[in-house]
Structure 1
């Protein structure tokens, strides 16, 4: 199975082997400023590159924004400039393979529920912090259908009125403060350092860099502002943090836990854990969607 995760900065790929290990992990720049058609061509090229290398029997692709998983359409994906795009049909025709299309947050939640940090937990909230920020609630060990409960684009919740512009067209969204690209941009703006990614900023914060501590601290406070409402609604047993933030290690969970405690009170704060699959949780979930599709077609 091959897996693709399309985000505003990178298109990430990988292949799931029979042993359940994700290999051939690679990433390519998305460059959404080129326009939606060019982004689609890049996605198709990346998919073909992986398929040629891995000889898959099915493919999974996950996207941010609003996704119709049944029809395989990107209903509204501002990060890529896509609206009502039949992604599944395009990729399936290009690869001549069955293709599953899903939401990035839901896919990450699926991976963690089946064999990750949520495997032994009935109800948990998965939050993915990378190019975008989305959450998925897992109930009784299952990711519910997209209707009702399910993935939420919390990254486009306004947290700083009049703040930095977001690609969704609004200002001051959570993604402009707490996403990987926002952390990178805000650190560069504060220090003049260029070419430093979010992971490095997280590590600098852990090492005591004042500017990194300020940027990451504000990101955790903004994230807690939004997650507190979701925790109050779903009362999960566990909060699992994935995406690039998970790669920073447990050090950033402390300020997030502290911020949540100040908003909810200690008894209401769920057990906080890092995603087992880290920033590959989405791709692992995409591969699982592809495998599920193949099994369904085979009647298994």
Structure 2
């Protein structure tokens, strides 16, 4: 039985050195180092690339996540192997020294285990060991939002701070925590900001009641407007636009979402005192979000150190870049 390598401890770099990693297509590269393969696995699609010695992603692509069947962990590793073979065939002069991949759900990074992912279908899957055995490469394995947060810390909006909370607001709400420049994971259970309780209801898909994402996620905002009016909006942005135009139902729903977000950020501030809270995801592009949250957060707090609220910079590339950074630590 083969054993997986111990995951590397994150290395701290100064912010100036991170600036040198600016890279592809107006976004970010990962700087000089060993070539690595990187994969960001989601329930809908898989992003993949081969990063060369300059940190430039080669063959960057997004492919549909296949149906994983009765053995989802093994099926996923086979798909990663297929994609890896294709990337290596396209760029035969670039020999990867390690592979990084990230997945959703509850992830025990230290053990290399996908503890649970409802949309992927596994429980306690030894994903890092399976990948290492199948691809014969050193493998870095991480949580998708955790890796995206690490990329934001090394390359993006959080690079000037070491005590940071990253919140991603999309269909749901996900998060990650860095303390002293190091991820705090608690076996994969830390950072579940979307499932922190803010009310007595409604019931969440996770089985609890009143989770933040049932009120303040983009999915919840659209759903609550549809339930309140019988009208189907074109997503949360449409509801926010209707609120700005004077739609009372939309305004009430958007106000409740902002209050819930401010409450959760205030709780995080009181308990953790982060230097910064990085906010990403589709809802982070709402024009009024940051001003409203700054005002409401300040109103809820007194002597506390109020964190800087900073937009995430890496957008949809963050998970893939985080996977590449993790792989570089092992290469």
Deviations 1:206-258, CA, capped at 9 Å, x for gaps: 96474655444333322222221111122122111123333x25532122223
Per the alignment, residue 297 of structure 1 pairs with: none
Per the alignment, residue 149 of structure 2 pairs with: 109
User: Where in structure 2 are the equivalents of 1:122-271 lying within 5 Å?
Assistant: 122-140=162-180, 142-144=181-183, 146-147=185-186, 151-166=190-205, 168-189=206-227, 190=229, 192-193=231-232, 196-197=234-235, 200-201=237-238, 204=241, 208=245, 210=247, 213-246=251-284, 248=285, 250-265=287-302, 268-271=305-308
2:225 touches 2:232 (CA, 8 Å); kept in 1? yes
Q: Which runs of 5+ in 1 are unaligned?
A: 295-300
In 2, the alpha carbon distance for the partners of 1:216 and 1:27 equals: 34
Q: What is the aligned counterpart of 1:61 among 97, 101, 112?
A: 101
Deviations 1:146-189, CA, capped at 9 Å, x for gaps: 349994212222223231331x2223322222334334433444
2:106 touches 2:188 (CA, 8 Å); kept in 1? no
Q: What is the aligned counterpart of 2:312 among 265, 269, 275?
A: 275
1:187 touches 1:201 (CA, 8 Å); kept in 2? no
- Residues 201, 28 of structure 1: CA spacing in aligned structure 2 closer, same or farther, 3 A cutoff? farther
Greater Rg by CA: 2
Q: What is the aligned counterpart of 1:26 among 62, 77, 102?
A: 62
Per the alignment, residue 76 of structure 1 pairs with: 116
The answer to which structure has the higher helix fraction is 1
Matched, 1:284 2:284: no
In 2, the alpha carbon distance for the partners of 1:110 and 1:202 equals: 32
In 2, the alpha carbon distance for the partners of 1:5 and 1:209 equals: 40
Instruction: Give the deviation of 1:72 after TM superposition.
Output: 1.0
1:109 touches 1:143 (CA, 8 Å); kept in 2? no
Matched, 1:14 2:48: yes
Matched, 1:120 2:163: no
Q: How many residues align?
A: 285
Query: What TM-score do the two structures reach when normalised by structure 1?
Result: 0.77
- Residues 86, 148 of structure 1: CA spacing in aligned structure 2 closer, same or farther, 3 A cutoff? closer
In 2, the alpha carbon distance for the partners of 1:82 and 1:237 equals: 36
In 2, the alpha carbon distance for the partners of 1:232 and 1:95 equals: 45
Please give the secondary structure, in 1, of the residue aligned with 2:166.
strand
Pick which of 224-233 and 184-193 moved more. Answer: 184-193
Q: Which runs of 5+ in 2 are unaligned?
A: 1-35, 89-94
Please give the secondary structure, in 1, of the residue aligned with 2:288.
helix
Deviations 1:96-123, CA, capped at 9 Å, x for gaps: 4433221233212211111111212233
- Residues 183, 271 of structure 1: CA spacing in aligned structure 2 closer, same or farther, 3 A cutoff? same
- Residues 148, 227 of structure 1: CA spacing in aligned structure 2 closer, same or farther, 3 A cutoff? farther
2:38 touches 2:51 (CA, 8 Å); kept in 1? no
